[in-house]
Amino acid sequence: MPALQWLNLKPLTGRAATAQNQTTMDFCNALKTLLGENAVLTTPEDRASFERDWRGLSQYPAVAVALPKTPEQVSEIIKLCAAEKIAIVPQGGNTGLVAGGVPIANTPQLILSLNRMNAIRSLDLAADCLVAEAGVPLATVQQAAKDADRLFPVSFAADGSAQIGGVISTNAGGVQVLSYGNMRAQVLGLEVVLADGSIWHGLNALPKDNTGYDLKQLFIGAEGTLGIITAACLRLHPAPRARATALVGTSSAADAMALFQSMRRIAGPALTLCEFMTAEALALGGRAPFEAPAYLLLEISALEEDATPQALIERVLEAALEDGTALDAVIAQSERERDALIAMREAIPEGELHAGGAVKHDISVPLGRMAEMVVATEALIAKTYPGCRLNIFGHLGDGNLHINVRPPEGDALSSLNKAEITTNVESLAVSLGGSFSAEHGIGQFRLAGMAAHKSPEALALMRRLKTAFDPTGLFNPGKTIPESPND
């Protein structure tokens, strides 16, 4: 692997430590000259929140945190780091769940925070797109689209803090993927700073540009290992004129899937949201208006002013209640009620964290095997880890489930064999034709899954791409690609 990527440094003492400290001070002073005194954070107290992942599971020191304002400053930072052999950890809102945007151990690293690159550069309503810098929060893009009577459909619980660069770098999904696609489908062009400091100006708004390799796709989902995304041209969609949102109780995952299929058959692409939650999961997000073993959160959207999505959703639910597929249901009668239903779903991850956390999994399986995956997981945990509590929820409409295992009541999360549980859950998903990572990415925490489940051919191609784009291993060491057995 490239030289910087797998450094295993031993602590220095005596003169060597003194020399290293002086080198670090010189490096930080050079950064301050480039960016300004307030744009370089060096004290442990100032660095701490940038060094710690959202779940509080990983925290290793960085040399400093740099906060550039322009692509040109990012370019100069990259050149400086390359000269000093200091790796770069690009970071957005630091809301990821796999520690992809924080340092690893035993490697000198600079955290490159895109927080100050937070401008929306342009809005083109004729082309239905906008250009946002990497540090723009996702919620800001959503609001800019709304103000222009458009929709930016990528949405998830961390809307207010997740940043566009990170959302693109992780190819995030969210609750409307079944209708609009994940982040990859929303990106028309990118501006990226490469490992040699050059800037690729790929910000175009062309829906069709058939001129060789689609280079932007290489950086989407690459978790900052191939280049630093500094801006993106994003696709906007027509804003819905009417919608209906319902919370439905079902007796099982199989009935939930049957209800989803009925709704999709009638509504087609107008079904823009379909979220599954077990009762245990929903309880972490709030108090449901009625009791059921499992729940579906459904939404139908319409682009026509005179459309009646509520009548459509009522017709499907009436049939489901008659045949027993649905046990109970409530339809939001106002925007406030809709927001409350969605907020319960989005509050599940934070509620889980406040309740002590869980061994988290982000799997996908073919739609036809979703119910089988839920039943098989429940049997696996009950047999192998008695007393453990399951928190299952996710995006039923696109095959993505978050299967999280909580310790028995009164036990600490540290009491669980996390690696063994993860191996079993991920292997089960893969055995059903699925994936061990659906939308959270790889980061540090899913490297074992990559090594176990990604084919040798795929890993070899990824390593060749990494070497071609980043020959010295400058970008985001220890993430995404597991170490080769030959290293």
430: domain CATH number is: 3.30.70.2740
Per residue in 150-170, pLDDT (tens digit) is 999 999 989 999 999 999 999
End-to-end CA distance of the chain: 6
Out of 297, 314, 348, pick the residue that ends a domain: 348
Out of 238, 259, 292, pick the residue that ends a domain: 238
> Could you tell me if 219 and 289 lie in one domain?
no
Contact 219, 168 (CB under 8 A): yes
- Other CB atoms within 10 A of residue 90 CB: 26
> Could you tell me if 371 and 311 lie in one domain?
no
pLDDT at 33: 96
Q: Does residue 42 lie within any of the structural domains?
A: no
Both tokens assigned to 182: 């994940």
Q: Return d(Cα 275, Cα 440) in angstroms, integer.
A: 17
CATH of the domain at 208: 3.30.465.10
Q: Does residue 287 lie within any of the structural domains?
A: yes
Low-confidence ranges of the chain (pLDDT < 50): 1-12, 16
> Could you tell me if 289 and 377 lie in one domain?
no
> Could you tell me if 414 and 370 lie in one domain?
yes
Pairing assessment for the beta strands 237-238 and 228-235 based on DSSP bridges: unpaired
Q: Does residue 209 lie within any of the structural domains?
A: yes
Q: Return d(Cα 261, Cα 273) in angstroms, integer.
A: 13
> Could you tell me if 156 and 227 lie in one domain?
yes
Both tokens assigned to 469: 């784009």
Q: Does residue 246 lie within any of the structural domains?
A: yes
CATH of the domain at 253: 3.30.70.2190
**Bridge partners of residue 132, in order along the sequence:** 120, 232
> Could you tell me if 211 and 248 lie in one domain?
no
> Three-state SS for 42?
coil
What are the C-alpha distances in Å from 28 to residues 12, 31, 43, 103, 408? 19, 5, 11, 17, 47
Neighbour-count burial of 379, counting CB atoms closer than 10 A to its CB (0-12 exposed, 13-18 middle, 19+ buried): exposed
Q: Which helix (H) or strand (E) holds 309?
A: helix 309-323
> Could you tell me if 300 and 365 lie in one domain?
no
> Could you tell me if 196 and 248 lie in one domain?
no
Could you tell me which residues come within 8 angstroms of residue 423 by beta carbon, excluding any fewer than 6 positions away? 448, 452
pLDDT at 486: 67
pLDDT at 383: 97
- Other CB atoms within 10 A of residue 462 CB: 18
> Could you tell me if 253 and 150 lie in one domain?
no
Q: Does residue 106 lie within any of the structural domains?
A: no
Pairing assessment for the beta strands 64-66 and 228-235 based on DSSP bridges: unpaired
Both tokens assigned to 78: 């990259």
Q: Does residue 481 lie within any of the structural domains?
A: no
Q: Return d(Cα 67, Cα 128) in angstroms, integer.
A: 30
- Other CB atoms within 10 A of residue 222 CB: 27
Q: Return d(Cα 444, Cα 438) in angstroms, integer.
A: 15
What are the C-alpha distances in Å from 116 to residues 40, 44, 66, 487? 12, 20, 10, 37
The position carrying tokens 């309740």 is 355
Quickly list H helices, 52-171.
71-84, 138-147, 164-169
Handedness of CA 57, 160, 275, 320 (dihedral sign): positive
Per-position b or e across 102-130, b if 16+ CB within 10 A of its CB: bbbeebbbbbbbbbbbbebeebeeebbbb
Q: Return d(Cα 300, Cα 246) in angstroms, integer.
A: 9
Which residue type is seen at 407? P
> Could you tell me if 259 and 173 lie in one domain?
no
Q: Does residue 17 lie within any of the structural domains?
A: no
Cα–Cα nearest to 81, from 473, 464, 467:
473
Both tokens assigned to 81: 């780091």
CA geometry: angle at 104 spanning 103 and 110, to 5°?
35
**Residue count (the chain):** 487
Handedness of CA 486, 193, 212, 204 (dihedral sign): positive
Out of 211, 238, 265, pick the residue that ends a domain: 238
pLDDT at 23: 77
Domain ranges, residue 393 = 356-451
Q: Does residue 163 lie within any of the structural domains?
A: yes
Cite the beta strand spans of 134-205 per DSSP E. 150-151, 187-193, 199-202
Per residue in 296-338, pLDDT (tens digit) is 999 999 998 777 899 999 999 999 999 999 999 999 999 999 9
> Could you tell me if 234 and 264 lie in one domain?
no
Q: How many domains does the chain have?
A: 3
**Bridge partners of residue 300, in order along the sequence:** 244, 271
> Could you tell me if 253 and 225 lie in one domain?
no
